[in-house]
Structure 1
Amino acid sequence: MSVTFSLNGKPVTFDGPDDVPLLWAVREHFGLTGSKFGCGIGMCGACTMHLDGEAVRTCVMAVGHVRGRAVTTIEGLPTDETNPVHQAWNELDVPQCGYCQSGMIMATTSLLARNPNPTDQDIDQAITNLCRCATYIRIRAAIHAAARRA
């Protein structure tokens, strides 16, 4: 069965089983590999994308769930000066290995859209993505810097 949805602002159709994880449909069928596979159980957040503007874990979300909805991947975000999150990440040299960073950026972008001036507690509650390199101090500083820029 085919699933039609918006991917980074463009209509797309996935021809395959409805229960394929969205992450795999986006990576393998549409070739957008910025979102990563980490744990496969929705815990680590490396697979985070936006669904209708909200951060979601896509390794456990069936592609059939996004029928008629808007999916945004890391590739769908602007990378220029209009994106304060990318600017803050680069300025503060946040990534170490970088594997989790697309998910962190997607979660942060969603947080700042809902809460433009988050406290440390807000960040801790909203950004539950895991970073194997433990760059959490830089991540939090970058979130605050992005909030100031926005």
Structure 2
Amino acid sequence: LIYPVGFYHTKARRLKEIAKILVEKYGGRVPDSFEELLKLRGVGRKTANIVMTYGFKKKGYLAIDTHCHRIPNRFGWVNTKTPEETEEALKKVLPKKYWMDFNHLFVRFGQTICSPVSPKCSVCPIQKYCKRVGVKNHR
């Protein structure tokens, strides 16, 4: 199940550690607080945002991974250097009603069309709106 994920050895070890902490400290329940999630070793902003959004169906969280950072910069929506900066910048311009679906849609789009190297601009449904910031070669 976890093998296809990058750094699967580390992530498997972290999951075991977190499971133990959840049982010992939280009575076997995942905390529904962003701040409490961040206290768990191996849980960063992206994971905490995803748990709050998809696990607890709470609004007001915007999960930014490498795709969600790269693509808005490529589009010219933001000009940021880190996923954290992108999260803050997008919160200012992206209506909250889109936050819940943003990560899922942009990850899939980044994996299939708007890849880090040689994006498939010729088949991109929104190519006429894209500024292609940082794109040197595309298909």
TM-score range, shorter chain: 0.3 to 0.5
Give the structure-2-normalised TM-score.
0.36
Ranked by relative contact order (alpha carbons within 8 Å, sequence separation 6 or more), the top structure is 1
Structure showing the higher helix proportion among its residues = 2
> Per residue, is there more strand in 1 or in 2?
1
- TM-score, structure 1 as length reference: 0.34
